[in-house]
């Protein structure tokens, strides 16, 4: 569990995309380290080679980490999308519902983003959005203009972000746009308490088993599906960062009772403050693990149907962490329902668990193969190649997937200077998977990895014709 604990620390913290010693570059100015030959709004086309495109290559665009560049500057969006296309990426994934739970499109359901907390230099502070144009539409227009496929990503079961480093809390649960009762009721060492409480730090999650919560998110997905996007991706479509402590609300108890066919013998099923599986996993506890996976499975199925009901041409996908052996703490089974999870992992999966694999409800999947920079090749979990190759056996061709690294937050990547590793990550992941995926655009910009990726993709494309 040490690796899981270490990575949970990363996902609980803000995305770091500015080193403490790097000078600030205002969003309205061209990054000094970039070539300034492209004129925003010009007619230049991406200089992609006239050879087969190959497998898709996705780059994630985190909302807060890139906000100071894009929040109020359409021209900069257009300029950077040309650079992304020229580098050889085929797809962008634009985060339009950050962990605050506000949105970056014109919504009639959720409040729009007015500010996001970001790291600038050594300080963590708010960047205000003063522009009124549609942020998502700007990426659609700019991306499609240079031949990129554009996917909109949302943080699914979130509704606020508790202030860090002295900043105010932000998000609809803090402004009263979402009821506090929707938030996850966690079984902490201090007893049952909602994910939203006085003094909370970090992401506030909603309860995935709450019907009102699900209907709220489905409404957001239908709004997104009405845009001219190529795909929609669910991020954080899972239980809260509290892991096994989440969720023990009345709604969850009621639904678990129906699932069991009788009232649970104890509630909550784990002792307060449980972080790791107890030594004794009773049949009821195993059923609880399967029930949580069923909640997420059923929502994914519902979400896919909602998206396709609005536009059947929009591809529906989910981002997940590739560490399947410990992902049960999030209540997620991203494998094929044909994969017999209980045979491989009897410690936490019963014979019903595999039925709630949701791969067959996805048109595609993005996998975070977030191993350390010195763990690229291999066959086991916590190597990038191993993550991707093992996913093949887990997904059983129920869907296609792209896998790849976090080049800014994972071990060995935090200080940049790893251009030599990038070709290896492309080779390891794109050949083991159905495509390549990298988190995040901010790190490519910050550490000037543009040429490293362009050369790696060119080598990959050239290999297809040899």
CA distances from 198 to 178, 194, 245, 343 (A): 16, 10, 19, 43
Burial of 410 (0-12, 13-18, 19+ CB in 10 A): buried
DSSP state letter for 114: S
Question: What dihedral do alpha carbons 165, 187, 343, 399 form, nearest 10°?
Answer: -50
Phi/psi for 346 (5° steps) reads: -65, -15
Instruction: Note the pLDDT tens digit of each residue in 312-370.
Output: 999 999 999 999 999 999 999 999 999 999 999 999 999 999 999 999 999 999 999 99
Q: Tokens representing 68?
A: 């100071």
DSSP state letter for 416: -
Report CA 426 to chain centroid distance, whole Å.
20
Computed from CA positions of residues 279, 284, 290, 294, in that sequence, does the dihedral angle turn out positive or negative?
negative
Helices (runs of H) and strands (runs of E) counted in the chain: 13, 14
Q: Tokens representing 115?
A: 């500010």
287's enclosing H/E stretch is helix 283-310
pLDDT at 39 over 50: no
Per-domain boundaries in the chain: 55-465
Question: With respect to CATH, is domain 55-465 assigned 1.10.510.10?
Answer: no
DSSP state letter for 394: H
Using the structure block, give the residue that is written with the tokens 């550490």. 447
**195 vs 444, more confident:** 444
Do residues 427 and 457 touch, judged by C-beta distance below 8 A? Answer: no
Measured N-to-C along each axis, helices 450-465 and 422-432 cross at an angle, to the nearest 10 degrees, of 40
Instruction: Note the pLDDT tens digit of each residue in 240-265.
Output: 999 999 999 999 999 999 999 999 99
Q: Which of 4-18, 410-424, 428-442 has the lowest mean pLDDT?
A: 4-18
Q: What is the mean pLDDT of residues 205-223?
A: 98
42's enclosing H/E stretch is none
Nearest C-alpha neighbor of 315 from the set 147, 150, 119, 159:
150
Question: d(Cα 62, Cα 233) in Å, to the nearest integer?
Answer: 13
Model confidence at 17, pLDDT cuts 50, 70, 90, reads low
Model confidence at 434, pLDDT cuts 50, 70, 90, reads very high
Helices within 121-237 (DSSP H only): 135-145, 172-175, 211-225
pLDDT for 15: 56
Q: Which of 2-16, 183-197, 287-301, 326-340 has the lowest mean pLDDT?
A: 2-16
Question: d(Cα 383, Cα 405) in Å, to the nearest integer?
Answer: 10
Question: d(Cα 5, Cα 247) in Å, to the nearest integer?
Answer: 19
pTM of the model: 0.91
β-pairing verdict for 91-97 and 57-61: parallel
pLDDT for 196: 77
pLDDT for 199: 65
Question: d(Cα 363, Cα 317) in Å, to the nearest integer?
Answer: 6
∠ at Cα 318 (316, 323), nearest 5°?
Answer: 155
DSSP state letter for 183: B
Instruction: Note the pLDDT tens digit of each residue in 52-76.
Output: 589 999 999 999 999 999 999 999 9
- For the chain, the average pLDDT equals 90
Question: d(Cα 46, Cα 147) in Å, to the nearest integer?
Answer: 8
Question: d(Cα 84, Cα 66) in Å, to the nearest integer?
Answer: 14
Burial of 387 (0-12, 13-18, 19+ CB in 10 A): buried
Q: Which of 159-173, 234-248, 369-383 has the lowest mean pLDDT?
A: 159-173
């Amino acid at each position: 569990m040490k690796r899981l604990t270490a990575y949970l620390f990363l996902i609980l913290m803000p995305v770091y995309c500015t080193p403490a010693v790097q000078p600030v570059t205002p969003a309205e100015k061209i990054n000094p380290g970039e070539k300034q030959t492209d004129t925003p709004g010009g007619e230049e086309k991406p200089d992609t080679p006239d050879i087969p495109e190959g497998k898709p290559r996705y780059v994630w665009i985190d909302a807060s980490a890139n906000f100071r560049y894009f929040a109020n500057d359409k021209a900069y969006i257009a300029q950077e999308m040309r650079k992304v296309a020229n580098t050889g990426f085929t797809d962008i994934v634009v985060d339009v519902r950050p962990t605050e739970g506000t949105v970056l499109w014109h919504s009639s359901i959720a409040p729009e983003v007015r500010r996001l907390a970001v790291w600038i230099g050594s300080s963590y502070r708010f960047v205000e959005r003063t522009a009124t144009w549609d942020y998502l539409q700007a990426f659609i227009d700019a991306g499609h203009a240079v031949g990129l496929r554009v996917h909109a990503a949302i943080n699914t079961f979130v509704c606020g972000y508790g202030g860090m480093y002295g900043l105010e809390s932000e998000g609809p649960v803090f402004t009263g746009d979402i009821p506090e009762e929707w938030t996850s009721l966690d079984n902490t060492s201090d007893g049952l308490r909602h994910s939203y409480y006085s003094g909370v730090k970090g992401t506030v999650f909603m309860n995935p088993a709450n019907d009102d919560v699900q209907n709220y998110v489905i409404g957001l997905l239908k709004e997104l599906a009405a845009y001219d996007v190529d795909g929609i991706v669910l991020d954080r479509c899972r239980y809260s960062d509290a892991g096994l402590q989440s969720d023990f609300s009345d709604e969850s108890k009621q639904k678990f009772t129906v699932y069991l066919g009788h009232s649970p013998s104890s509630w909550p099923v784990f002792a307060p403050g449980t972080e790791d599986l107890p030594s004794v996993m009773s049949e009821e506890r195993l059923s609880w693990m399967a029930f949580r996976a069923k909640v997420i499975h059923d929502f994914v199925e519902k979400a896919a149907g909602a998206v396709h009901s609005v536009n059947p041409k929009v591809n529906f996908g989910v981002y997940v962490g590739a560490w399947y052996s410990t992902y049960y703490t999030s209540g997620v089974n991203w494998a094929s329902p044909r994969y017999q999870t209980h045979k491989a992992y009897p410690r936490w999966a019963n014979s019903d668990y595999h039925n709630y694999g949701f791969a067959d409800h996805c048109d595609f999947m993005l996998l975070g193969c977030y191993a350390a920079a010195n763990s690229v090749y291999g066959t086991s979990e916590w190597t990038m190649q191993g993550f991707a190759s093992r996913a093949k056996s887990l997904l059983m061709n129920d869907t296609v997937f792209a896998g790849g690294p976090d080049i800014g937050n994972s071990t060995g990547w935090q200080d940049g200077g790893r251009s030599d590793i990038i070709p290896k990550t492309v080779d390891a992941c794109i050949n083991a998977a159905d495509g390549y995926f990298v988190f995040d655009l901010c790190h490519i910009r910050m550490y000037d990895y543009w040429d490293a990726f362009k050369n790696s993709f060119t080598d990959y494309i050239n290999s297809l014709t040899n």
